[in-house]
Chain A
């Protein structure tokens, strides 16, 4: 295989891994717990920025051409873990105020607004993460230690991101398959009934929200360290919608669906088509891509509202003795 082909495929695989992680996190929030987190991308961005500033070193180290807070040189797994912690902590703060006693549509509005506020603040407060130019030259994990060829490092990164995806998969499966997952679905389907059974609805929602946020931050760290640059242009509000679209297409509430959705919408539709020849004026293909994502979501909502892989309907076997007597 030619090395450019290897670059192409390994690149798509890394994006696939990042998008699968993000979709698993969003599926936990949206599909399982029923939270419309239109600010999902903000938590991914928070993780990306965290990983970036914790690997770039002090702000003054590279001639001070970019300014940011908290510069440090942490060794490999620590920036990723810190990103997950920051994603979760930020979710906790946002969740504490946004998830209390608000109707679903009001929650969605608050999240939408938080997404826009975050973009405005990070763009204008240039001392925070270098404003609209964003951060560049983010070191790639272990690149200097391993001493691999560029293609070899690409495949190392594929392996790393797939390993991380497996970890996220296991964590999410443990939650959705446990009594906690069952309670979350109960809260989603009928919060009044769940409350009457003594479940702390807000607490349950917050758990799903924070776990999803931590996964978002983790995926952001993997992504930012891979492309080694991160700016507000990478996490505008419509990017959250791509993940929503993926989860809906795949099947909200089903982890397998989230994986398939990530492969179909962000990877197949947005990443892979970047390599098709551009036609028309610059920007036309991008605009049309968004039109297609919007229409695709509408079509799925219409024809297959439960997605390609619908959430499994859980049935309980009749206990012996409860059969009606003949």
Chain B
């Protein structure tokens, strides 16, 4: 029909992937206050696991489960065996940024060394496509949007209605107070990284599913829109990240239609910078906290 309606469709898919990824990212940051710049590269790793599963004849659900599982274990391991020891050893926020970039660089290039710097795509049967009101979606893209909605509902129910969700929110708000109230913050943090890692892995597989081909830098490049969505909604606020994802996803794809596809990332970047300058606490957070990293 027309290009804007089409881009709106692309925007919804990008927003879905972003929502899964940025809610995971914001949970990690909210609970431990570590800005995990290796998040995108863990996503790439999960996409490669999904690739291997589909190459071995696995179906899409199997690939998704494998990707989410890898993401959960990798993120848990990263926090438990790399980040937490550094924090306990006295590395502060300042140094943790360098630590996470080091991990990101090693991970990204490690993947490149193993898989070579070429293009990959998931070996899945060709999807059928559907048209809704001028927007075209493949069946795989419908799966991505379904996953996003399911993930958001899951995170919402977890945070609002379960004991674990309340414990997570308490740990994010004030870890010491949470500890003195009898919350086993160590376990809560482990579970938060497992959960956010599963989201990270799912987003990685969704990212690989949505593009015709991906490389070892795919997740790293996707990190900035993820950060933009998370910051826009207020870092550490899962609901904010969801709304941020929709705003960033739609504005990136619509600006690709209006300006030029090569500048679509720049728009997301500029939104991030403007938000950081005008309202660094994000649109939905009430206070900008000056917290330190938590082990």
Contacts and interface: CB of A to CB of B under 8 A. Distances in A.
Contacts of B108: 290
B280 interface: yes
Interface SS of B by simple majority: helix
A301 B91 contact: yes
Interface in A195-230: none
Contacts of A151: none
Interface of B: 35, 37, 82, 85-86, 89-91, 93-95, 97-99, 101-110, 112-113, 116-117, 224, 227-228, 231, 260, 262-263, 265-266, 269-270, 272-273, 276-277, 280, 288, 290
Contacts of A248: 98
B280 A301 contact: no
Nearest to B99: A301
Given A97-B273, A305-B91, 17 more contacts: A38-B101, A106-B280, A108-B97, A110-B273, A110-B276, A120-B263, A241-B102, A245-B102, A283-B116, A287-B110, A288-B109, A294-B105, A295-B106, A298-B82, A305-B89, A305-B90, A305-B95
Interface of A: 34, 36, 38, 97, 100-106, 108-110, 112-114, 116-117, 120-121, 123-124, 238, 241, 244-245, 248, 281, 283-284, 287-291, 293-295, 297-298, 301-302, 305
A10 to B, nearest CB: 30
Given A117-B269, A287-B113, A294-B105, A102 B98 contact: no
A195 to B, nearest CB: 14
Contact of A117 (B95, B106, B270): B270
Contact of B106 (A112, A283, A284, A294): A294
Contacts of A114: 273
Given A284-B113, A287-B117, A294 B102 contact: yes
16 contacts: A38-B101, A97-B277, A102-B277, A102-B280, A104-B93, A104-B94, A110-B276, A113-B228, A238-B105, A245-B102, A283-B112, A287-B112, A291-B110, A294-B103, A294-B107, A298-B99
Which 6 residue pairs of A and B lie closest in terms of their CB atoms, listed nearest first?
A294-B106, A290-B109, A294-B105, A287-B113, A297-B102, A287-B112
B90 to A, nearest CB: 8
A116 B97 contact: no
Contacts of B107: 294
B276 A294 contact: no
B270 A108 contact: no
A283 B111 CA distance: 12
A102 B97 contact: no
Nearest to B117: A283
A34 B92 CA distance: 12
Among B89, B98, B117, which residue has the most Cβ atoms of chain A within 10 A? B98
Contact of B266 (A34, A121, A284): A121
B285 to A, nearest CB: 13
Given A97-B277, A294-B105, A113 B269 contact: yes
B164 to A, nearest CB: 27
